Structure 1
């Protein structure tokens, strides 16, 4: 077995090992997700979803492309691995994957705008006291 050096990137997750902490984030994956969905130049949002948002499966709005909707939601579901702040919103929009409507897609766009504004966030495992990481 050979020494392959410190882990820095694995399955879309960037790993930064510092003296004070270990950081996991997916900023490159998030930017690719935004580019793929023509949202790279969107205006960032400060919250992952609207306050008191009520979406329903019985929506009467126009249907949207279900394949595209599922693709975006699946990309966001993978992003949740290092972004627990979007877990609730992603779980909520996942409920409408069977028959997505325009109001559901608007919520997905809102969430992508939030991701745009918070791409530098991730999970940090700090070094505590004299212990090893």
Structure 2
């Protein structure tokens, strides 16, 4: 075995090790996800979902491309590893992967606008008491 030095990038997760904290983020992955969903130039949102959002499987809105919807939801599910702030809404839009409709897509587009505005957020583990996390 050989020492490759400090970990800096692993499975699309950027690792920054500072004197005060260890930070994990997926900003590059989030940017690629936004490009793949054609949301790279969207307006920013300050919240990941509308207040009192009600989605249902019995929606009468028009159907959308299920493959694209499933692909974007899958990408968002991977992004949750370093973004606990979007966990609830990602789980919520995941419920409609079998038969996605326009209202489900609108909720996901709002989430993607939120991700664009918070693309550099991640998890911070502050160091306490020496080298312990």
2:63 alignment partner in structure 1: 63
Q: Deviations over 1:50-70 (max 9, x none)?
A: 000001000000000000000
SS at 1:54 equivalent: coil
Partner of 2:77: 77
Q: CA deviation at 1:89?
A: 0.2
- 4+ aligned runs moved over 6 Å, structure 1: none
The equivalent of 1:110 in structure 2 is 110
| CA distance in 2: counterparts of 1:42 and 1:110, whole angstroms | 9
Asked whether 1:28 is paired with 2:28, we answer yes
What RMSD in Å do the two structures reach over aligned CA positions?
0.8
Partner of 1:17: 17
State the TM-score, normalizing by the size of structure 1: 0.98
- How many residues align? The count is 133
**TM-score under structure 2 normalisation?**
0.98
Q: Which residue of 2 aligns with 1:119?
A: 119
Q: What is the SS of the residue equivalent to 1:89?
A: helix
Aligned to 1:48: 48
Give the distance between the partners of 1:59 and 1:132, measured in 2 at CA: 50
d(CA) in 1 for partners of 2:130, 2:111 = 39
